[in-house]
Chains A and B, each alone.
Chain A
């Protein structure tokens, strides 16, 4: 925090403290505590037992047993992750699939959000409703439906064949292309909604002023609309990118056998290898990969905002 601002800290009442305590308590309960448990397991070793790792803490065995088991912790699992190329390949491939999908989602989502924000006031609730409507059907079923559309004898191929556009059915299902389609389709509303919110609030008089001063509309769009909608773009992209990196269902159902994603690798570690410690280590690293850049980015943003202020 900046020194100048700290000079006169506002006195907070008990009520205000309580109000702040609630979200912190929430974060502790649903983020920090589970994370610490996962982190603890990532330092353990597998065993054929219930639960399938050692050491486990049993308070009944007293303090000595507790400290003894602490010495059994090791970073072995993290070392293992660096030794096998599979893991970093999965991370890199997940991040790149998520990045490409996010970009495609933005490409499709921006015109949609823009169109919605520019539409007559009376249409907007209906359009908003249409964006939210798919959520009323289970995510799993919607992804499954794409199998029916994309498969060799699926709706898409039948349509293209009957139109004479192609002579051989396109192989889309079980490829990375199908994964992109699945992610873009599934996460589009997450991008459109925040983007729409920021575009709708955009002050129309700025565009009118630009036009009055002889600025062509494409330039006005580029100089005014795009920068002002940037917070919405960033929020929307994060909402797509972060869950897409860890996505499991879409690559499992639509992807091919060579679609390498960290969600699938983690599943294999957890269920097929029964290696809870290594899968926990994979999860901890995944979290770091996602959290660190975002924290850095936000710090950067804050600094920029303070400079401008």
Chain B
């Protein structure tokens, strides 16, 4: 440890010297909102002299639209796997120069293998965080309505009309993301969650339509506050977001207890990947930033802050117990084996999916 800190000290000194020559080195990072411990950015600047211009978005769609319009001015962006795959196809990213990414060895092989589906050979991206899409619920209210043995660990809670009808008045939210909800419905029906067959997608749509009258709102971020405030009972949501709601409710001490469950039938696993746009103005700095992020201590700090699992094996021993030890964040082997991933839809199937989703939402 001592040797290491001495070395970093020397490195920092020499880099500070370097920084004096190149005053204006910057890196423009575009990441999800509430997705990093800001001190990581400050430390990065201290060590490398590179100024971080940090900007945030809250949906993959917004990021994608900017990328496809071109000339974003960003050097590092963080799309989710399915979106990344299509963006690679569109030529939105520059291939990583792995000779500059010396910390690549810290990454978790299991995650890298799963990401192959979106980014073959992990040529364009590194994993930042990964998580699951499951069910967030208000423990007290759900048990009050459905009894002690409420199926909170199962999609039955949502997809069985007799359950969800009872929860209706208490409030049920669903993600406004067809790429999450249609695979979940397919999986519940025992079909391939990654199905591209319009007839099967239609079936998933029918299931979603039958429970539609009990869904108060389809939205991808409002459920965090709504769960935390006790305004709603159940929400389909992303792991880290529900855990944020859990912590907010605990902090507010308002008598609301929120829990997150990965349903036993399986849930979607997703990967947020850091990549460099093809027209990034600061390629060099972007690589330095990615390499810094892949340091075990940095990645551990990030996960300890946002309560999401990361794709960095070496960081695991530095994680807090309430992160690495929480099966909602790092699920056990058995749960992981039931998680599924999806691939992007072709434009034609995408239209079927979106149309089905609009029909579900609007009841038309």
Measured CB to CB, the residues of A under 8 A from B are 46, 48-52, 84-86, 89, 151-153, 174, 256-258, 260, 265, 268, 270-275
On whether the beta carbons of A274 and B68 are closer than 8 Å, the reply is: yes
CB-CB contacts below 8 Å: B223-276 with A: 229-231
Specify which chain B residues have a CB less than 8 angstroms from the CB of A271 in the assembled complex.
59, 61-62, 64-65
On whether the beta carbons of A153 and B231 are closer than 8 Å, the reply is: yes
Partner of B61, one of A256, A260, A272, A275: A272
Q: Given A50-B67, A84-B355, A258-B363, check contact A273 B90 (CB 8 Å).
A: no
On whether the beta carbons of B361 and A50 are closer than 8 Å, the reply is: no
Among residues of B, the one whose C-beta sits closest to the C-beta of A260 is: B362
Q: Given A151-B231, A152-B171, A272-B61, check contact A49 B363 (CB 8 Å).
A: no
On whether the beta carbons of A174 and B216 are closer than 8 Å, the reply is: yes
- Interface segment among B126-134, B153-161, B311-319, B346-354: the answer is B346-354
Pull 30 A–B residue pairs with CB atoms less than 8 Å apart, ordered by A: A48-B86, A50-B68, A50-B69, A50-B92, A51-B68, A85-B364, A86-B355, A86-B362, A86-B364, A89-B364, A152-B171, A153-B229, A153-B230, A153-B231, A174-B216, A256-B216, A256-B217, A257-B217, A257-B361, A257-B362, A257-B363, A258-B361, A258-B362, A258-B363, A265-B358, A268-B358, A270-B65, A271-B64, A272-B178, A272-B357
Please, how many angstroms separate the alpha-carbon atoms of A257 and B350 in the complex? 20
Specify which chain B residues have a CB less than 8 angstroms from the CB of A257 in the assembled complex.
212, 215, 217-218, 361-363
Q: Can you list the 8 inter-chain pairs with the closest CB atoms, starting with the nearest?
A: A271-B61, A257-B361, A52-B68, A50-B70, A48-B90, A273-B354, A257-B218, A48-B89
On whether the beta carbons of A152 and B92 are closer than 8 Å, the reply is: no
Q: Is B198 an interface residue (CB 8 A)?
A: no
Given A271-B59, A272-B178, A273-B354, 11 more contacts at CB 8 Å?
A50-B90, A52-B68, A152-B171, A256-B217, A257-B361, A257-B362, A258-B363, A260-B362, A265-B358, A268-B358, A271-B64
On whether the beta carbons of B217 and A174 are closer than 8 Å, the reply is: yes
Q: Is B120 an interface residue (CB 8 A)?
A: no
On whether the beta carbons of B90 and A52 are closer than 8 Å, the reply is: yes
Chain A interface mostly: loop
Query: How many A-B residue contacts, CB cutoff 8 Å?
Result: 72
Interface centre among B61, B178, B363 (most CB of A within 10 A): B61
Specify which chain B residues have a CB less than 8 angstroms from the CB of A258 in the assembled complex.
361-363
Among residues of B, the one whose C-beta sits closest to the C-beta of A271 is: B61
Please, how many angstroms separate the alpha-carbon atoms of A272 and B89 in the complex? 17
Please, how many angstroms separate the alpha-carbon atoms of A137 and B117 in the complex? 46
Please, how many angstroms separate the alpha-carbon atoms of A157 and B98 in the complex? 59
Q: Given A270-B65, A271-B61, check contact A49 B90 (CB 8 Å).
A: yes
Among residues of A, the one whose C-beta sits closest to the C-beta of B279 is: A50
Among residues of A, the one whose C-beta sits closest to the C-beta of B170 is: A152
On whether the beta carbons of B69 and A51 are closer than 8 Å, the reply is: yes
Q: Is B91 an interface residue (CB 8 A)?
A: yes
Among residues of A, the one whose C-beta sits closest to the C-beta of B226 is: A151
Among residues of B, the one whose C-beta sits closest to the C-beta of A154 is: B231
Please, how many angstroms separate the alpha-carbon atoms of A84 and B212 in the complex? 22
Specify which chain A residues have a CB less than 8 angstroms from the CB of B231 in the assembled complex.
151-153
Partner of A273, one of B59, B89, B229, B350: B350
Please, how many angstroms separate the alpha-carbon atoms of A152 and B226 in the complex? 11
Specify which chain B residues have a CB less than 8 angstroms from the CB of A153 in the assembled complex.
229-231
Q: Given A48-B90, A49-B90, A151-B231, check contact A275 B59 (CB 8 Å).
A: no
Specify which chain A residues have a CB less than 8 angstroms from the CB of B67 in the assembled complex.
50
Specify which chain A residues have a CB less than 8 angstroms from the CB of B70 in the assembled complex.
50-51
CB-CB contacts below 8 Å: B283-316 with A: none
Please, how many angstroms separate the alpha-carbon atoms of A46 and B65 in the complex? 13
Specify which chain A residues have a CB less than 8 angstroms from the CB of B358 in the assembled complex.
86, 265, 268
